[in-house]
Amino acid sequence: MTTFRLPAAVLAAGLTLAQAAPSGQAPPAKPALGTFGIDTAQMDPAVKPGDDFFRYVNGKWLATATIPADKARYGMFDALRDQAETDVRALVDELGRTPAPAGSVRQKVADLYASWMDEARIEARGLEPLRPDLAAIDAATTKTELVRLMGRLEFSAPFAFGITADPAEPTRYVVTIGQAGLGMPVRDYYLSPGAKFDGYRAAYRTYVTRIFELLGDRTPAESAATVIALETKLAEAHWPAERRRDVKATNNPMDRAGLATAVPAVDWQVALEPSGLGAVTHVVLREVSAIQGGAALLDSEPLAAWKKYLAFHVADDATDQLPKAFDEASFAFHSKALRGVEVQRERWKRGIDLLDTLLGEGVGELYVAKYFPPGHKAAMDALVANLRTAMGERLKTLAWMDDKTRAEAQRKLATFEPRIGYPSKWRDYSAYTVDRTALFENVRRGRAFAWQRRVVRLGEPVDRAEWGMRPQTVNASYNASMNQLTFPAAILQPPFFDPAADPAVNYGGIGAVIGHEMGHGFDDSGRQYDEAGRIRNWWTDETSAKFVAQTDKLAAQYNAFCPLPETCVNGKLTMGENIGDLGGLEMAYTAYKLSLGGKEAPVLGGLTGDQRFFLAHAQIWRAIQRDDALRNQILTDPHAPPAARGSIPERNIDAWYTAFGVKPGDKAYLAPDARVHIW
């Protein structure tokens, strides 16, 4: 799943947003931002658009904004997330005032939240909830017992199980086994040289030591050193983040005999049984050499070291359900040291996150009923249709694509399934029991419930109606195996989507988001899947080579974006998202022009339609970020930082040059043959 974090018929119809709004529901008269949807007061007219477009659009805001002490980043996305959080809080507060029938979703939402907020009880219970796990680790005396623990959901291991659509046959599910088991985000944190990374490693040592102290370990510093030495060896085996995006290298289907041969260091029957997978006959192994390397450590490293490892991780995983001292230690490392966050978020906000994780669709159903106007769905349907048409038109004329590949691409485009707002059927939570007085157990049962509902469906056809995102999530996604686009209700709000805003603004905002997700179907990873979601090469060699040549050029543009000393964007890791951003903006621009039906857009506030389109796009990326968080993102996240996403796509689009009079000599100027045009 790839996330955003986001023709002739239309020419004739001249379809616009306003026409798509349902009758009987008047949109608000005034847009949320400015007079037509852009916060022009935040622009910096002293900056030349051709020198630094992101700063031209957002300069005044960037110069004065501050990051809230409990955040690592702040911008448009974050403001909207705050709004969604506040909206959900209001729902939960309402539930708290009116008792719901036992066993209902409302009861579960209210009681899970209450158990989270009951800090006095969490404190009073102390380590008691964790005791059975610690005792089970203590009792292990053989490698087999160790592997059996690792097979349980609550314990960490050098491998992790997943259940997804089978890349060979996406109508059925398959069990995946992937690399796992590090306490720091990715291998670079263990292995990269330099003072910054030495600092992260020192903070991790402090954290692991502190957890052992709190667990009553007799030699906490020594135990921490053991765990970190073990994880460093595991990190050496791990694949780097960009290699994990390799569709072919991570698709290694095999039967159980093949698995036993590929990774002989693990007794897979013992490992698979505890999570209900004992009867599984075939699996997909992902990062093969990493899993082999990690599994080999089960033999080469002492059992005692692995037991320390399990004890640390089972506590690390539950710090927010344990006494405050655990929670504070976790915050000091995970949030403060790794991302620069200054203070812990208020408890209620974290409670909303927990609801999202464990009862997300239960909350989502209530959220949609209260906050999602039905008219938004209709307007989005029209916008998605326009974007699809725009991409179809562009495909027709792409010079680098031969006709055979073009026909396949058109077929894939035609079978995209857009999903807007909320799922067509809501998740059934009846098998999940929530107890108002037992947070730790609520979390355990919630995770087990989520896993078990996947396990029982292993033999059934893939459920295409299922959503991976929640309606209250400010994001969007594309799933290559399903060829589905998903736009949750919460992103269908200003500044992305505002029925009262000028159409240029909506095309530059949510239009670019829609185009981005469509672009994922045709990015370096998505293009390897066909219209049915199968991994199949539908490209001729010649067209494929031309695609790669263009994307290499694009990667070079991002590699040259270095927001911190010695820290540049990884063009390979971010390739899929960058193709999505560039293609999305091109498609949205084409759709906007088609929507005008050959007419000139009006000038508003002295700005042309084209200018408003690009301004709206750079506006949605308005954000500032802490340095540690930025470094973390660049190492771990396939999305480039906001300042890159709100400026590099523009540099490749000819219409942007015309709209803002960008000329040779301007800092962001690219000669026409240096611009990348993919979709």
Site residues for Zn ion per CB under 5 A: 2, 4, 577, 580
- Angstrom distance (rounded) from CA 419 to CA 39: 29
User: Residue 408 or residue 517: which is nearer to Zn ion going by CB?
Assistant: 517
Long-range CB contacts (< 8 A, 24+ apart) of 663-670? Answer: 663/50, 666/48, 666/50, 666/51, 667/50, 667/51, 667/52, 668/50, 668/51, 668/52, 668/53, 669/50
User: Residue 4 or residue 116: which is nearer to Zn ion going by CB?
Assistant: 4
Residue by residue, DSSP assigns 211-225 as: HHHHTT-SSHHHHHH
> Minimum Å distance from CB 4 to Zn ion?
5
User: Residue 340 or residue 580: which is nearer to Zn ion going by CB?
Assistant: 580
> Minimum Å distance from CB 516 to Zn ion?
6
> Minimum Å distance from CB 170 to Zn ion?
20
User: Residue 10 or residue 241: which is nearer to Zn ion going by CB?
Assistant: 241
> Minimum Å distance from CB 37 to Zn ion?
23
User: Residue 294 or residue 649: which is nearer to Zn ion going by CB?
Assistant: 649
Nearest to 612 by CA among 592, 591, 587, 590: 592
User: Residue 494 or residue 580: which is nearer to Zn ion going by CB?
Assistant: 580
Residue by residue, DSSP assigns 236-272 as: HHSPPTTGGG-TTTT-EEEEHHHHHHH-TTS-HHHHH
Going by their DSSP bridges, the two strands 282-285 and 169-179 should be labelled as: parallel
- Angstrom distance (rounded) from CA 578 to CA 555: 8
To the nearest 10 degrees (0 to 180), the angle between helices 403-415 and 374-397 is 170
> Minimum Å distance from CB 660 to Zn ion?
26
> Minimum Å distance from CB 77 to Zn ion?
13
Q: Which two tokens stand for residue 221?
A: 């510093």
- Angstrom distance (rounded) from CA 478 to CA 464: 13
> Minimum Å distance from CB 579 to Zn ion?
9
- Angstrom distance (rounded) from CA 322 to CA 121: 10
User: Residue 176 or residue 525: which is nearer to Zn ion going by CB?
Assistant: 525
> Minimum Å distance from CB 478 to Zn ion?
7
User: Residue 502 or residue 577: which is nearer to Zn ion going by CB?
Assistant: 577
Sort 162 into a burial class: Cβ within 10 Å, 0-12 / 13-18 / 19+.
middle
> Minimum Å distance from CB 515 to Zn ion?
11
Q: Position 381: which residue type? A: D
User: Residue 2 or residue 472: which is nearer to Zn ion going by CB?
Assistant: 2
User: Residue 2 or residue 16: which is nearer to Zn ion going by CB?
Assistant: 2
Q: Which two tokens stand for residue 157?
A: 């291991």
Q: DSSP secondary-structure letter at 98?
A: S
The structure tokens 């349907």 sit at: 381
> Minimum Å distance from CB 356 to Zn ion?
20
- Angstrom distance (rounded) from CA 11 to CA 431: 51
- Angstrom distance (rounded) from CA 358 to CA 198: 36
